[in-house]
Structure 1
Amino acid sequence: MTEQSSQDFRTSAIQAIRIEREAIDALEERIDDHFIKACEVIMACKGRVVVTGMGKSGHIGNKIAATLASTGTPSFFVHPGEASHGDLGMITSQDVVIAISNSGNTSEVVTILPLIKRMGAPLISMTGNANSTLAREAVANLDVSVQTEACPLGLAPTSSTTATLVMGDALAVALLEARGFSSEDFALSHPGGSLGRRLLLRVSDIMHTGNRIPRVPEGTTLSGALLEISQKGLGMTTVVDAAGKLTGVFTDGDLRRTLDKNVDVHVTPIEQVMTHNGKTIEADHLAAEALNIMEEMKINALPVTDAGGELVGAINMHDLLRAGVI
């Protein structure tokens, strides 16, 4: 074992990153007719996309299948070795198969090609060799060849697996946009994680309602409004008219600005110092939209109104934090 200095470690790492970056840059010119054909075949698929690959290509294939599945293209991974021992029954003629092999001649993958062809499932290949068996048998071959591996021995798949992964991401994104896949569609397949909470949670799910809403009627003195702010703990109070419609908001920030003017809190009516026509949100909007408004306006709470302007709730930054939206 040779002794390495800290600079040697840094140099090796930077060299690996540069080699892999060059491999990725080379992919741009390969978004060609084969790539378009692959997209068209998958868009026309009535079944699912079945991804297969051996070794490191299999690990990359697993990730590509997961990305496709989470972005609107039903997909799963099948190990080619297991496919030869029964799992080929998971593939139907309605499916599309994406087979990954850097050499294009991986025996476990090549072995199942005749059976895939016999059942009539279209085959898309991702290879580093356009003249390989796998590339020749495919309706479209995505070229993921690299000049050199980042591994200085040229043995461990590094640049080649990175290029394959990026090509898979390019395919998934192209299909996502072609399908008009939305952020809500994405959230539906991620309901348990923070992404799902962020994208699916509605204001109505977490807002304060009923007696928990900080509110005072017009004509209330500033001291009365401060008492309401203190009791409800949202750092603000809403102001409503006799019909229950929102007419203004008074926040901690408004209080600081008011006190600078030497206002008498015991006699000043709240409507003289409140913010008129402030930002609001409706209950059926996404909680993420409430977060965007608060961040953009640099405020910590929002009144929630219905379409007619009647106050129905209140929400603040702490509610969003507790719900995992932030």
Structure 2
Amino acid sequence: MSVTDEKTLTKTFDEKSAERVLHLARETLQIEADAIIALQQRFASTDGRHFTHAVELLLGCKGRVVVSGMGKSGHIARKIAATLASTGTPALYVHPGEAAHGDLGMVTEQDAFVAISNSGETAELLDIVPLIKRMGAKLIAMTGKPGSTLAQLANVHLNVAVDKEACPLNLAPTASTTATLALGDALAVALLDARGFREEDFARSHPGGALGRRLLTHVRDVMRSGAAIPAVTAGLSLSAALMEISQKGIAMTAIVDDAFRPIGVFTDGDLRRLLEHTQDFSKLIIADVMHANPHTIGPDQLAADAAQIMEQFLINQLLVTDDDGKLVGALHIHDLTRAKVI
């Protein structure tokens, strides 16, 4: 920001203006927080039974949950559909205006339709609701008016009424959309728990995220295998073992027995420590200087488990063995960082 811009900002936001801005911010947050608390408190009455009924209806849905709304309610509907879909409840958003011009074909009799409208009188929704009910789909309405047309048509009505909007004019949807979004999250969480949705299930719907990589990436997906595995026999000279380390580029080599089971490991760190007190390598064999009983992991274990072992034992490499103890792979910490497991 230039000096001129800073001076302009200082003139515009004097102390009184800044105080007003902070006052409105605090007031907005308080009004929206109060709206959610009021929503929670109403669960002790009929609203709680309606919520439970809605969860039962959605759990029994053999199709998908179709969420719809106009304007700001439409934006909230999109988010609720996305949250449901990512937590084990197949869901999609349908624009009510587009539904009246062909997109209603996305809705089937096996679906549940969630209609969101603060007034409960949104024309675009009321135009399609009779058709939805006629085809046999269940209707859940989320409105701020229990006596509205949409609420009366619904199989279940969820009351998202608020005392007032955070907007100073009490016009722009603010507290009402926050309450609706929070109730949508409550539905998603209740359904998630009822379905026994687990961390692994979440990862499957988020394969591009950090959690997905941690829970879906296995050791076999990132390990070096076949000819890329550095391995030598116990009787080989240290010099020859160092050639294997250099050629395979993983800064270590496994030492294996006749059945290709690892009995030891030697790393470039071991070499540096060896150089501190050994001058003549010519008579050393790798068995003389290897670390016996190396740490290993199975190929079907999570790559995140390999990262944990490396961290626990302060090592950068790990050998991979099958159920018979045979060496089938090798891992370097860089393999895990490239796969974004760590």
- Would you say the 8 A contact 2:262–2:294 is kept in 1? no
**Given the alignment, which residue of 258, 264, 272 partners 1:242?**
258
One-letter amino acid matched to 1:65: A
Query: Within the alignment, does 1:282 sit opposite 2:291 as a pair?
Result: no
Is there any run of 5+ residues in structure 2 with no aligned partner, and where? 1-10
Aligned to 1:307: 323
Aligned to 1:3: 12
* Range that drifts further, 297-306 or 46-55: 297-306
Aligned to 2:219: 203
Distance in 2 (alpha carbons) for counterparts of 1:58 and 1:80: 9
Query: Cα distance 1:279–1:105, how it changes in 2: closer, same or farther (>3 A)?
Result: farther
Distance in 2 (alpha carbons) for counterparts of 1:309 and 1:129: 67
Aligned to 1:129: 145
Query: Cα distance 1:254–1:34, how it changes in 2: closer, same or farther (>3 A)?
Result: farther
Aligned to 1:93: 109
Distance in 2 (alpha carbons) for counterparts of 1:87 and 1:103: 23
One-letter amino acid matched to 1:87: D
For each residue in 1:28-55, what CA deviation from the matched residue of structure 2 results, as whole angstroms up to 9, or x when unmatched?
Answer: 4455222221111111111111111110
One-letter amino acid matched to 1:107: A
One-letter amino acid matched to 1:247: I
Query: Within the alignment, does 1:118 sit opposite 2:127 as a pair?
Result: no
**Structure 2 residue matching 1:113: 3-state secondary structure:** helix
Distance in 2 (alpha carbons) for counterparts of 1:37 and 1:247: 61
Distance in 1 (alpha carbons) for counterparts of 2:163 and 2:248: 65
Distance in 1 (alpha carbons) for counterparts of 2:167 and 2:258: 74
**Structure 1 residue matching 2:12: 3-state secondary structure:** coil
**How many corresponding residue pairs?**
324
- Would you say the 8 A contact 2:109–2:135 is kept in 1? yes
- Would you say the 8 A contact 2:117–2:144 is kept in 1? yes
**Structure 2 residue matching 1:164: 3-state secondary structure:** helix
Distance in 2 (alpha carbons) for counterparts of 1:220 and 1:128: 79
Query: Cα distance 1:250–1:74, how it changes in 2: closer, same or farther (>3 A)?
Result: same
Query: Cα distance 1:146–1:229, how it changes in 2: closer, same or farther (>3 A)?
Result: farther
Aligned to 1:50: 66
Distance in 2 (alpha carbons) for counterparts of 1:145 and 1:258: 74
Shift of 1:152: 2.9
Query: Cα distance 1:18–1:229, how it changes in 2: closer, same or farther (>3 A)?
Result: farther
* Range that drifts further, 165-174 or 147-156: 147-156
Aligned to 2:337: 321
Distance in 2 (alpha carbons) for counterparts of 1:221 and 1:25: 73
For each residue in 1:274-321, what CA deviation from the matched residue of structure 2 results, as whole angstroms up to 9, or x when unmatched?
Answer: 444443222223333333433454433321110111110012222222
One-letter amino acid matched to 1:58: G
Aligned to 2:168: 152
Distance in 1 (alpha carbons) for counterparts of 2:263 and 2:75: 58
- Would you say the 8 A contact 1:223–1:265 is kept in 2? no
**Given the alignment, which residue of 16, 34, 37 partners 2:28?**
16
Query: Cα distance 1:3–1:252, how it changes in 2: closer, same or farther (>3 A)?
Result: same
Distance in 2 (alpha carbons) for counterparts of 1:22 and 1:298: 50
Which structure: larger Rg?
2
One-letter amino acid matched to 1:146: V
Shift of 1:253: 5.1
One-letter amino acid matched to 1:168: G
* TM-score calculated relative to the size of structure 1: 0.83
Query: Cα distance 1:124–1:245, how it changes in 2: closer, same or farther (>3 A)?
Result: same
Query: Cα distance 1:21–1:234, how it changes in 2: closer, same or farther (>3 A)?
Result: farther
Distance in 2 (alpha carbons) for counterparts of 1:24 and 1:295: 43
**Structure 2 residue matching 1:88: 3-state secondary structure:** helix
One-letter amino acid matched to 2:12: E
Query: Within the alignment, does 1:60 sit opposite 2:69 as a pair?
Result: no
**Structure 2 residue matching 1:325: 3-state secondary structure:** coil
Distance in 2 (alpha carbons) for counterparts of 1:47 and 1:173: 19
